[in-house]
Amino acid sequence: MRFVLVALLLGIATALHAGIHQESIEKIIAVELPLSGAPGLSYAVLDDSDIMSGAHGEMVAGSGREISPDTPFVLGSIAKSFTALAVMQLVESGQVDLDAEIHQYLDGFAESPGRNVTIRQLLSHTSGYSTFQGNDSLSGEGASADGLSRQVARIAQWSPAHEPGTRWEYSNANYYVLGALIEELSGQDYARYVETQILEPIGMEHSFVADGGVHETARGHVPWFGGKRALKEAASDRMSAPVGGIIATARDTALYLAVMMNGEDDIISARGKVEMMQPASEVSPFYGFGWYLDTANGTVSHTGLTPGVETLAIMKPAERKAAVVLINASSGMGFGENANLMNAISARALGLDYTPAGDAGRWSRMGLFLLFALLPVLFVVGIVQVALSRAGLRAKSGVSGAFSLWFPMLTTIALAWVCIFLVPQLFGVSMGTLQRYSPDLALALVASAVAGVAWAVLRLVLYYSGPRAAT
């Protein structure tokens, strides 16, 4: 009788704790979701073996189709942890040596500049391939059956930007190659392998791998001048599946995190799980195999970013706590950012201290975005002004006149270089890739570059094409 009473009291206490837990998370969402401008989100919180989940908003803004904890989202780079897990399965089956060089497994690397990169280096982003290289992918090949093999054939022709094993730099190139490794050694395509060897054994019933087909998922929304714009429905990106193409629900992802923390030999050995979630090398102190490590607070995590979707999976293995947050919108530059929303939910779920980012950084990002958005308008006004006051322009003479004519040409060319090349590279992407993730910023940058050069060229054309003051 005493045992039954104790169990009943513990159950009541657990239920009350879970209720308080969810109530506080719901309060966070009520405040932060409107500020982010995202149409909706789904989340799950894991506390030992108990999973609590919730959802808000719409799959597509204005559609009336509600998001639930069983709505699939594209996980983005959280998929790298699944790819790393698949590689570890091959390691434990004796098919892969972590410190073997990639050319020993993939013939395409036999004469490659990157032939000596090891599997460990690929898993831990210490291969030498750069972020910019990793974001260079085959355009328009996402749904094709041979897209991954063709992308890896391209990577095999590249020289790593750094000497392998000498520095850490996040690069999608590493996980494209690991995806090809899985296909080569398993004899299955990546999607089939991960679904049968990982998703199904874990019980992720509502989740799958991008296969080039069109699926019912939470639609992505990209920033658009202070608001969010829904992307068109499109085929799933089969080529990038090892990099970011796991499509999963919040509940299913929580199940996956539970398996990673259970300390049991199942999907891989308990020892293998620990190895994945510890520093891979001295060069990689804060990244294991497919997971970021925060040694200060004992968390293991990965974020995901695909066009129009942001995700977070975070664990505290010592306490067997975890959180998953899936948002069907990507952040704007200072406007409609998701960081406070995601971080506040995860911190509350894991019992971590969290102080929202101050307004100073957000205001500076907003100011920079507004500058690029207003520059084209200012240049257009300048073009009109020059056209209306061409007589004054043609009155310029001498050295000072020549300087005032040609210096703006040089400065606007420099501005165009900053807008078209430098700013995207600061994000580690090309202008084309930036346009997919932040179309408003990309448009503002291109418009600033074009309008600035047009203004400077028009001044020279008007000056040299008409009568000028005598010198």
Q: Are residues 342 and 391 in the same domain?
A: no
Q: Which of 296, 331, 357 is the last residue of a domain?
A: 357
Cβ atoms of residues 460 and 384 within 8 Å: no
Q: Which of 357, 380, 405 is the last residue of a domain?
A: 357
From the list 97, 21, 76, the residue with the least C-alpha distance to 253 is 76
CATH code of the domain in which 290 resides: 3.40.710.10
**Looking at the domain assignment, is residue 6 inside a domain?**
no
**Can you give the pLDDT at residue 306?**
94
**Can you give the pLDDT at residue 13?**
42
Residue 143 DSSP SS3: coil
Residues of the chain short of pLDDT 70, as ranges, are: 1-20, 357-359, 466-471
**Looking at the domain assignment, is residue 234 inside a domain?**
yes
Cβ atoms of residues 86 and 182 within 8 Å: yes
**Looking at the domain assignment, is residue 469 inside a domain?**
no
DSSP 306-372: ETTEEEEEEEEGGGTEEEEEEESS---SSSS--HHHHHHHHHHHHT----PPPHHHHHHHHHHHHHH
With DSSP H G I counted as helix, E B as strand and the rest as coil, what are the percentages for the chain, rounded to 5?
50, 15, 35
**Can you give the pLDDT at residue 260?**
97
**In 389-438, which residue ranges form alpha helices assigned H by DSSP?**
390-394, 398-417, 423-426, 431-437
- Both structure tokens of 37: 């401008």
Q: Are residues 93 and 189 in the same domain?
A: yes
**Can you give the pLDDT at residue 19?**
53
CA separation, residue 270 to residues 110, 215, 265 (Å): 34, 34, 5
How many domains does one find in the chain? 2
Q: Are residues 343 and 445 in the same domain?
A: no
pTM: 0.90
Q: Are residues 241 and 367 in the same domain?
A: no
**Can you give the pLDDT at residue 3?**
44
Q: Are residues 311 and 182 in the same domain?
A: yes
Q: Compute the distance between CA of residue 168 and CA of residue 284 in angstroms, rounded to an integer.
A: 6
Q: Tell whether the torsion through CA atoms of 149, 150, 154 and 155 is positive or negative.
A: negative
Residue 327 CA to its chain's centroid (Å):
12
**Cβ count near 54 (within 10 Å):** 18
Q: Are residues 388 and 323 in the same domain?
A: no
Give the start-end residues of each E strand in 238-320: 246-248, 292-294, 299-306, 309-316
Q: Are residues 385 and 351 in the same domain?
A: no
Cβ atoms of residues 331 and 305 within 8 Å: no
Q: Which of 325, 357, 389 is the last residue of a domain?
A: 357
Residue 255 CA to its chain's centroid (Å):
22
- Both structure tokens of 69: 């904890």
Cβ atoms of residues 60 and 71 within 8 Å: no
Q: Are residues 207 and 301 in the same domain?
A: yes
| Domain that includes residue 204, residue range | 18-357
**Can you give the pLDDT at residue 15?**
46
Q: Are residues 39 and 82 in the same domain?
A: yes
Q: Are residues 301 and 397 in the same domain?
A: no
**Cβ count near 4 (within 10 Å):** 8
Q: Compute the distance between CA of residue 211 and CA of residue 219 in angstroms, rounded to an integer.
A: 17
From the list 439, 447, 330, 327, the residue with the least C-alpha distance to 378 is 447
DSSP 159-173: PPSS-TTS-----HH
Cα angle: 325, vertex 216, 292; to 5 degrees: 30
Q: Are residues 346 and 439 in the same domain?
A: no
